[in-house]
Amino acid sequence: MDISFLLLIGGALVGLWLFLYIFPINLWITALFSGVRVNLFELVLMRFRKVPPKLIVNSMIMAFKAGLKEITMPLLETHYLANGNLTSVIKALVVADKANLSLTFQQATAIDLA
């Protein structure tokens, strides 16, 4: 085999990996099949804002499946950037909702950050 062919294959693999890293298509498809409306461009922008898209999308899916409709991606991103624990907040909201307690997202995030 020619060395330029191997370099071309290697470059193509690195390019494909970079493309799939920047555009998390598998995460977008997961959200789509879960019923959560997520913009692929928003997932790309999350990477540049240093927010892990997987954490945000998984939290959105958990909230959506539990019936918590008031939670949005910008709220989750804001709480993450404030060094909050998203998973704990979503789980607390789900438990409070199932126990018929009135706990808003703002109250749960305030408790988490305190």
**Percent of the chain, pLDDT > 90?**
59
- CA atoms within a 13 Å half-sphere pointing along the CA-CB vector of 90: 26
Q: How far apart are CA 78 and CA 83, in angstroms?
A: 9
The 10 Å CB-count burial string (b at 16+, else e) for 95-114 is: ebeeeeeeeebeebbeebee
Give the three-class secondary structure for 46: helix
Q: Band of the pLDDT at 25, cuts 50, 70, 90?
A: confident
The pLDDT tens digits of the residues spanning 41-82 come to: 899 899 889 999 999 999 999 999 999 988 999 999 999 999
Q: How far apart are CA 113 and CA 1, in angstroms?
A: 58
Per-residue model confidence (pLDDT) at position 36: 92
Mean pLDDT value across the chain: 90
Q: How far is CA 70 from CA 13, 17, 20, 67, 77, in A?
A: 41, 35, 30, 9, 14
